[in-house]
Amino acid sequence: MLDWLMQSGSWVIIAALGGGIVALCGILLALISRSRRRRGDSRKKKSEPPTIPAKPSTSAASMQLVLPNRKTIPLTQFPLSIGRARENDIVLDSKAVSAIHARLFFDAASGKVYIEDNDSRNGILLNGYPTRKNILSNGDTITLGNVTLVFQIKVL
């Protein structure tokens, strides 16, 4: 077989193709590296959200979650964990809710509350749309598994 390649000149074509593939791979790697430097490497380890053990000001407004049974849970201390396990700050009795399904955080700088999924099995729907992390607004519906909560801000 090797003799046939040498005699027919096919080895020249094969060598040229191999060299072209190697050169193409080098160009692609350079372009990928260049684009990551411009926008930052998206594969970097996720930074943890700031855990601010804050108490939001209640002089102008209060925040609460409304459960399906219309029971309200005041949100006065953050961060809060939500899930099926008894050690959560807010316990939801449903098998479709993960043990520690999500966390609520308060950003003191912006005065906003946001929710973040804790790698739950069924995820979070915010106003019917899947989300991993999002800022909450008055009237937002949060679905964890098959339980829907409503986030409310009450102006005092």
* 66: nearest Cα among 145, 156, 140, 136: 140
What does the longest C-alpha to C-alpha distance in the chain come to?
92
**pLDDT lower than 70: segments of the chain:** 1-60
Q: Which pLDDT value is given to residue 50?
A: 45
What is the Cα–Cα distance from 149 to 102, expressed in whole angstroms?
13
What is the Cα–Cα distance from 56 to 140, expressed in whole angstroms?
19
What is the Cα–Cα distance from 135 to 140, expressed in whole angstroms?
10
What is the Cα–Cα distance from 49 to 118, expressed in whole angstroms?
12
Q: Which pLDDT value is given to residue 26?
A: 63
Angle at 42 between CA 100 and CA 119, to 5 degrees: 10
Return the CA Rg of the chain.
27
Q: Which pLDDT value is given to residue 53?
A: 45
Instruction: Let me know: does 92 contact 144? Beta carbons within 8 Å.
Output: yes
